[in-house]
Amino acid sequence: MLENKLGIIDAVELTRQEERLSKKRALEMFESGFLDSLEPGTFSCLSAIYKKLFGDIYDFAGEIRTVNIAKGNFRFAPVMYLKEALKSIEKMPQQSFQQIVEKYVEMNVAHPFREGNGRSTRIWLDLMLKKEIQQVVDWSKVDKEDYLLAMERSPVKDIEIKFLLQNALTNQITDREVYMKGIDHSYYYEGYTLYKTSQLENN
C-alpha cells in the first residue's frame, strides 16, 4: 500500500478516502476555473491536474514516478526513459481529434505517476479536445469493458479507442452535469464507485 499523508494503513479505507477527497477536488477544479488556467497538452498541465486531485493524499502528487510499473503483462515506460518520453509526447501535434487521441495513447503508455494516471489523464484529454475541437468526451457513454480493452490494445492499434471516443463526443463543453458524470464514470473504470461527485459538493 502507498504511503499517504493521512496516515492510513488499511487499504480499503485509503481507497475510500482517495475517492472521496479526489472527487471533491475534481469538482473544485471545474467550479473554480482552475482547468481553464492550464495549457492543454503539456506535461505541466497533466501534473497540475494530478497534484490537485491527489495532493491531499500523497506527498508525491504531481511528481514523476521513480519506480518501474506494469499492469498485467504490460510494462509502462521505463523510468530511465520517462523524462525523454514526456518531452516527446508534449511536442506531438494536437490539432485534430486523431492527433489528440494519439497523444493521449502515448501518455497512457508513459504512465508518469505512481497511481491515478488514468483518472488525471482523461481530464487532460478532455482539455485538449475542448481547446482544439470544442468538444469533450461524454464518458458516461463509453462502456467500461470496451474502453479498457481498447486502451489495452491502443499501443499497437488505436483504431478502437478512436472509434469509441469519437462516438461519445459532445459539444456540451461547459456543462457541469456532463463533467460530473464524466468524473464518476472515469473513476468507475478504475473500480471507484462509492461516492457520486454531485453528493460531495458540500461535504
Spatial neighbors of 132 by CB under 8 A, at least 6 apart, are 40, 94, 95, 96, 100
Q: What's the confidence (pLDDT) of residue 181? A: 96
Helix (H, G, I), strand (E, B) or coil at 93: coil
Q: Give the sign of the dihedral formed by CA 67, CA 151, CA 184, CA 94.
A: positive
Side-chain-side CA neighbours of residue 148 (13 Å): 11
φ, ψ at 97 (rounded to 5°): -55, -45
Domain map (residue ranges) of the chain: 11-192
Q: Which of 2, 42, 195, 70 is nearest to 131 (CA)?
A: 42
Query: What's the DSSP call for residue 173?
Result: T
Cell 502528487 belongs to residue: 61
Q: In tens digits, what is the pLDDT along the chain, a chain of 203 residues?
A: 678 899 999 999 999 999 999 999 999 999 999 999 999 999 999 999 999 999 999 988 889 999 999 887 788 999 999 999 999 999 999 999 999 999 999 999 999 998 899 999 999 999 999 999 999 999 999 999 999 999 999 999 999 999 999 999 999 999 999 999 999 999 999 999 999 998 887 65
Task: Give the per-residue pLDDT at 201.
Answer: 75
Helix (H) or strand (E) holding 170: strand 169-170
pLDDT value for 131:
98
Please report the pLDDT score of residue 1 as a whole number.
66
Rounded CA-CA distance 116/108 in Å is: 11
- Cα angle 164, 167, 169 (rounded to 5 degrees) comes to 110
Fold of 11-192: Fic-like fold (1.10.3290)
User: Dihedral angle at the C-alpha atoms of 73, 115, 11, 148, nearest 10 degrees?
Assistant: -50
Specify the pTM: 0.95
- What's the one-letter identity of residue 25? R
DSSP secondary structure, 115-158, as one string: S-HHHHHHHHHHHHHHHHHS-EE-GGGS-HHHHHHHHHHTTT--
